[in-house]
Amino acid sequence: MELTESFLRSRKIETLVENRSTFTLDHTELSIFETHQQAENVYLKFSDPVLASMLMGKKIMHLNQHMDFDFLPGESVILPSDEVMCIDFPEASIKNPTKCLAMAFEQARLDKILDNLNEIRPKIDNQEWKFTNSNFHFTNDVAIQHILQRLIFIFTEQHPSKDIFADLMIQELIIRIVQTETKTFYSKNANKLSSNNRIAHVVGYIKENIREHIQVEQLCKIACMSESNFYRVFKEELGLSPIEFIIEERIKLASSLLKNPEFRIKDVYFESGFNSLSYFNRMFKKKFKLSPSEYKHQAATIS
């Protein structure tokens, strides 16, 4: 993501650590933070739920619940209201500043979006759409990345209808985030949830059989749903089709295997459930912008 020219021209640098530029619209506030020197133990807190997304550089985040992680461009984290962040900036400098956006959402607006979603697109098996009340760290998919880029433009431009434009984009952003969280939650808790959630049961089956040839017809039977209904429900709840989810899980497995020096690339694609090396190479590069051999070399270098 890139900051707009209008933002770069208008913002004022008043401090070298977490210099903040703020833009406020109805129900939502966007802040751009820039840090131009190394720093440690910088504390930050928002009174509303917030989405933080890295634009440039690197942070080390220390959150409650003993959650510590490197925060890199293309990643986001959801934080509940009044969550205290402790942040380190190990690499920030004048020439290489760290930049991050933080979008704070009015709780009542979040509740309205989710209430509407639960009314018109309810989950199956009596589940409800909910916005996380704990920390959720994830990698932006292409859709979320594009929405955030568009929102930066909308917030920083001078347009009389930008509240309307932003509200529509934020609705889509919230829905895609809760789909991403649902997908992650099902993946981590498939066995626990499978007894009373059909989609979680399918996710568990896919993960357990990822190396095998998985047919969508079989997944429909496991879910006890018609093919058309299964496709619709699966994509509504997880944000991607069953085939896309299977490929994503196989690529995830392949990326972990490539970090093992004992695995050759032809071993990795086979162990990950792919039956074509060229297809594996194409899907892997689409995800990571690196070929499997480049990824393996980079992982070995880091190690």
Spell out the domains of the chain, with CATH numbers in brackets.
5-180 (2.60.120.280), 194-303 (1.10.10.60)
pLDDT at residue 3, rounded to an integer: 80
Per-residue pLDDT of the chain (303 residues; tens, 9 = 90+): 778 777 777 788 889 999 999 999 988 999 999 999 999 999 999 999 999 999 999 999 999 866 899 999 999 999 999 999 999 999 999 999 999 999 999 999 999 999 999 999 999 888 899 887 788 999 999 999 999 999 999 999 889 999 999 999 999 999 999 999 999 999 998 888 888 899 999 999 999 999 999 999 999 999 999 999 999 999 999 999 999 999 999 999 999 999 988 889 888 988 999 988 999 999 999 988 889 999 888 887 766
Six token digits for residue 286: 């689409």
Six token digits for residue 268: 């990795």
Strand partners, 60: 70, 88
Give the sheet arrangement for strand 39-45, strand by strand.
39-45, 84-89, 59-63, 67-71
Which distant-in-sequence residues (6+ apart) come within 8 Å of 107 by Cβ?
48, 49, 81
pLDDT at residue 173, rounded to an integer: 97
The Cα–Cα gap between 112 and 196 comes to 27
pLDDT at residue 158, rounded to an integer: 87
Six token digits for residue 184: 């992650």
Instruction: Compute the Cα dihedral for 283, 284, 287, 291 and give only its sign.
Output: negative
pLDDT at residue 55, rounded to an integer: 96
Dihedral, CA atoms, 151, 156, 160, 161, nearest 10 degrees?
0
The Cα–Cα gap between 150 and 168 comes to 11
